[in-house]
Amino acid sequence: MKKITTLLLLLAMFTQTISAATVSGEKLKASEMMIPVGNTGKSVSMLDLSTMSVNDFEQLSGKKLKWADKMMFRSGQKELRHCINADGTLNNKRIEKLYKNSHKDVTAGFNIGGFALGFLLSLIGVLLAYIIKTDNPNNFRKWAWIGFGVSLAIIIIIAIF
């Protein structure tokens, strides 16, 4: 009985380490979507960007636009205005996808390399995960720790039985 209780406790702890991503069906509001403008570090909402004048944009970005750039800015504003509904939500799936991808959690998703390092090499694998350069080091390190935890749980289960 003690072994089964310990096994269930370990399985409960393991399932808590892996969280599922929730899918949100909410529409994005253009007034809440902030976009950085220029190299100044200032941000402006998409709703404000669709209505601001060229002079305001030049002051905000710190750059003087040429005639062709002004025409491109105005046509981009027109397209952006068509993508915003009357209630302030976006109706363009492409813009929503780009915005969500730029703001998604960088530690999301399974990483087989990190998991294998942690699972096969235990604590040494976790230390190697901090040394190895990858595109997404946070996700790589997270999965190395999870792999280490799984290997540790298996070792404890084997030691109990």
- pLDDT the model gives residue 67: 92
- Give the per-residue pLDDT at 42: 80
**Confidence (pLDDT) at 17:** 45
pLDDT at 155: 92
Contact of 4 with 161, CB cutoff 8 Å: no
**Partners of 35 in beta bridges:** 44
Report pLDDT for 34.
Answer: 81
pLDDT of the residue at 91: 84
Q: What is the pLDDT of residue 23?
A: 44
Residue 37 to residue 30: CA distance in whole angstroms: 16
Q: Is 37 strand, coil or helix?
A: strand
Domain residues of the chain, as ranges? 34-102, 107-161
pLDDT of residue 3: 60
| Cα-trace Rg, the chain | 24
- pLDDT by residue for the chain (161 residues), tens digit each? 566 655 555 555 544 444 443 345 677 788 888 878 777 778 888 888 888 999 988 888 888 889 998 898 898 888 888 888 888 888 878 777 777 766 656 556 788 999 999 999 999 999 999 999 888 888 899 999 999 999 999 999 999 88
pLDDT value at residue 6: 58
- The pTM of the full predicted model, rounded to 2 decimals, is 0.48
160 CB neighbour count, 10 Å cutoff? 11
Closest CA to 114 of 84, 137, 83, 96: 137
Using alpha carbons only, what angle is made at residue 69 by residues 64 and 71, rounded to the nearest 5 degrees? 125
> Tell me, what's the pLDDT at 55?
92
Cβ-count burial of 90 within 10 angstroms (0-12 exposed, 13-18 middle, 19+ buried)? buried
Give the list of residues 6+ apart from residue 61 with CB closer than 8 angstroms, or none: 37, 38, 40
Q: What is the pLDDT of residue 21?
A: 38
Query: What is the token pair recorded at 87?
Result: 């209630």
